[in-house]
Amino acid sequence: MSLEPESPREEQGFLGLGPPTMAVSPTPQQQEYGNGSATEGRLNESEASGTPGGFHSYDWMDVFSLLVTSLGLLGNGTVLWLLGFRIRRTPYSVYILNLAGADALFLCCSFLISLRRLATCFYYIMYMVVLYLQCMSYTAGLSLLAAISTERCLSALFPLWYRCRRPKHTSAAVCAGLWAQAGVIEVTEFVTRNYLAPRRFCNFLTIYFVCFVLLTCILCVSSLTLLLRVQCSSRRRRPPRLYLLVLLTVLVFLLCGLPWGIEGFINDRFRIELMPDILPHSLACVNSSVNPFIYFFLGKQGHKGRESLRLILQRALGEEQEVGGGMRDIPHTNTQETSSGG
């Protein structure tokens, strides 16, 4: 029996990302194709159906994913370079730096997986490592988005506390904790999936999905609070760019990133495939690719002429101050992660 997964969902496992599972009995297609791989079966099926170039729709979606992930890696790489080496650190730039890292890692894994499905050149163990890293980056990205949205909400609701009482290295500590949490989750999944009883793995899926829903609820509540805040402030003066950055990033995740997690859990827990797996995976790639373009779009908004990417990104991540109940932007170059600003 071939080690190749017989469907995209079996290929990706938990949340579309776990290790491949072995089929108990061959399907009619496998019997027809003999011991060939699932990829060969798809190609033979597409050739038989007369698809131009012998490409199945899954393969065309992989090509699309490769193009999207290439653009996303370019954008996220630019953000990582600017925030890591060219721009002074602020509380929110630390979050954005880690979010860009999570998106870049997710896109790297997606790029490699799409290449593997097109070229079938990866070894089985390397493929599993890439899948688990991809799932870890997805979990870290969701957690970082929730942290960014929550902290932005707290700074808007309790500005005095945020300026005077917020611990100095909160951003770095939270990011380190969230990355560690994502790693522990993936190690736990690997152990329960491969070395414990199936019931234990089902219990793990349930616990993980509860945490997934809780993070999503936190994300939605804090974003809704920010949206109301923007609505109130926009009547007096222009809302800060960072508010809009958080709201747009969360909106893109809810539209493009969230379906991947939900569809993967339903399929892995209940064996119900709501849609072809490649569709939510491609949407998740879009979610991780579009964030840098949101940053640069908001930083460029309202300013004409040619400017450096460093200046545009600084403007997008500029700190805000509450002045007389209103809000205004202050230059990013005058802010740093101090005890008063975090």
Highest mean pLDDT range out of 116-120, 125-129, 131-135, 332-336? 131-135
Phi-psi region of 53 (alpha: psi -120 to 50; beta: other; left: phi over 0): left
Domain ranges in the chain are 8-320
Closest C-alpha among 174, 17, 185 to residue 97: 174
Whether residue 325 is predicted with pLDDT greater than 60 in this model: the reply is: no
Which one has a higher pLDDT value, 232 or 263? 263
The answer to whether 294 and 276 are in contact (CB under 8 A) is: no
* Highest averaged pLDDT of the listed ranges 45-54, 57-66, 84-93, 143-152: 143-152
Handedness of CA 321, 322, 324, 329 (dihedral sign): positive
Q: What is the pLDDT of residue 276?
A: 73
Residue 235 and residue 137 in contact, taking contact as beta carbons nearer than 8 Å: no
Residue 184's pLDDT band (cuts 50, 70, 90): very high
In the predicted model, is pLDDT for residue 53 greater than 70?
A: no
pLDDT tier, 336 (very low <50, low <70, confident <90, very high otherwise): very low
- For residue 323, give the 3-state DSSP assignment: strand
**CB 254: neighbour CB atoms within 10 A?**
16
**Most confident listed range (11-15, 18-22, 49-53, 140-144):** 140-144
The predicted structure's pLDDT at residue 126: 76
pLDDT of residue 27: 43
Burial readout 319-342 (b: 16 or more C-beta within 10 A, e: otherwise): bbeeeeeebeeeebeebebeeebb
How much of the chain exceeds pLDDT 70, in percent? 71
Highest-confidence range of 17-26, 212-221, 226-235, by mean pLDDT?
212-221
CA distance 296 to 78: 11
C-alpha span between 78 and 87 (Å, rounded): 12
CATH number at 8-320? 1.20.1070.10
* Angle between helices 57-81 and 38-49 in degrees, nearest 10: 120
- The whole-chain average pLDDT of the chain stands at 75
Question: Is 283 a residue whose pLDDT tops 50?
Answer: yes
* pLDDT (average), residues 57-78: 86
Task: Single out the residue of 176, 156, 342, 130 nearest to residue 242, CA to CA.
Answer: 156
Burial tier of 171 (Cβ tally within 10 Å: 0-12, 13-18, 19+): buried
202-234 core/surface letters (b: 16 or more CB in 10 A; e: else): eebbeebbeebeebbebbeebbebbbebbeebe
Among 296, 12, 337, 288, CA closest to 140: 288
Check residue 162 and give its pLDDT: 83
Rounded to whole angstroms, how far apart are CA atoms 278 and 326?
A: 45
Whether residue 139 is predicted with pLDDT greater than 60 in this model: the reply is: yes
Residue 123's pLDDT band, with cuts at 50, 70 and 90, is low
Task: Report the distance separating Cα 237 and Cα 54, nearest Å.
Answer: 57
Q: Among candidates 63, 90, 68, which has minimal Cα distance to 292?
A: 68
Nearest one of 342, 294, 290, 337 to 316, comparing CA atoms: 294
Neighbours of 135 (CB within 10 A): 25
Cα–Cα dist 62/59, whole Å = 5
The closest alpha carbon to 117, from 16, 258, 29, belongs to 16
| Mean pLDDT score, 248-277 | 84
250, pLDDT greater than 80: yes
Amino acid 180: pLDDT: 95
Per-residue model confidence (pLDDT) at position 173: 94
Stronger pLDDT, 75 or 168, i.e. the higher one: 75
CB-based contacts of 315: which residues, under 8 Å, 6+ apart?
A: 241, 299, 303, 329, 332
